[in-house]
Amino acid sequence: MNTSSVSNLSIKNWSKDDQPIQRMQSLGTQSLSDAELLAVLIGSGTKGRSAVEIARDLLAKFNNSLNAIGKARLDEITSVEGIGLTTACRISAAIEIGKRRTKTDETPDLGTAVRIYNFMLPIMKDLDTEEFHIILMNQNFHFIKRLRISKGGISETAVDIRIIIREAVLNNATILACCHNHPSGSLRPSRADEELTRSIKNACQLMRIHFMDHVIVTDGAYYSFHEEGKI
């Protein structure tokens, strides 16, 4: 049965072969389209419109991109007719679970810039303001802890180096890397980025902590101060 022929019916009145949850149970999650996956989260439609139709409207609003929906604010999602705040929260939560699922290794080896980038990208790629994080490691470059030090505006964020060093000492870290995002997508470090990097390096040298790298993250590429010979 073609879903287009029953688009005006409630999902519960469709043939079992056309219901997203039934299809998921019989064929697996991977068999569902993006709209059907969203329909499972939406749950039920409105009068005259199925959950799949509402899901298609949501996708259309964001250029058929789940990545764009992941970056959307709750009020942008609820602007789609048929999606309330609870449903919008459910969709956002599901996307966040997907991001966190990519971090399966509790003690990853973060000894290179690309590993740091891959570790931080799920955390930073959807941010619309700058955040500055530190990654603390042991002498084998194994992950100890990640901490957000500051959150700022679109183009910059303030960082207290004393907090960075304190956290490294309290967590017995011997290696430290830092990371921040550029929501603009630009990979070029600012003068403030370069000055901050030098200051962190000097503070780490004083405390005998190895400052491994400062990585700038964008959605699709990174800039490494270490790889560029600036650390």
Residue 8 has pLDDT above 90, yes or no: no
Supply the pLDDT for residue 103: 56
Q: Provide the whole-model pTM.
A: 0.60
Judge whether 67 lies within some domain. yes
Out of 101, 132, 152, pick the residue that ends a domain.
Answer: 101
Residue 182 has pLDDT above 90, yes or no: yes
DSSP of 21-59 = HHHHHHH-GGGS-HHHHHHHHH---BTTB-HHHHHHHHH
Q: Are 121 and 141 in a shared domain?
A: yes
Q: Are 171 and 151 in a shared domain?
A: yes
Supply the pLDDT for residue 107: 60
Expressed as residue numbers, the domain containing 199 is 113-224
Judge whether 106 lies within some domain. no
Q: Are 118 and 80 in a shared domain?
A: no
Supply the pLDDT for residue 15: 44
Q: Are 125 and 205 in a shared domain?
A: yes
Q: Are 42 and 129 in a shared domain?
A: no
Q: What is the pLDDT of residues 106-165, one digit of tens each?
A: 567 889 999 999 999 988 988 889 999 999 999 999 999 999 999 875 555 678 999 999
Q: How many domains are there within the chain?
A: 2
Q: Are 136 and 204 in a shared domain?
A: yes
Q: Are 35 and 95 in a shared domain?
A: yes
Contact present, 29 and 40 (Cβ < 8 Å): no
Q: What is the pLDDT of residues 31-89, one digit of tens each?
A: 888 999 999 999 888 887 888 899 999 999 999 988 889 888 999 999 999 999 999 99
Structure tokens at 76: 């942008």
Q: Are 43 and 127 in a shared domain?
A: no
Judge whether 194 lies within some domain. yes
Average pLDDT, rounded, for the chain: 85
Closest CA to 171 of 182, 179, 181, 163: 163
Per DSSP, 171 falls in state T
Tell me, what CATH number does 180's domain have? Answer: 3.40.140.10
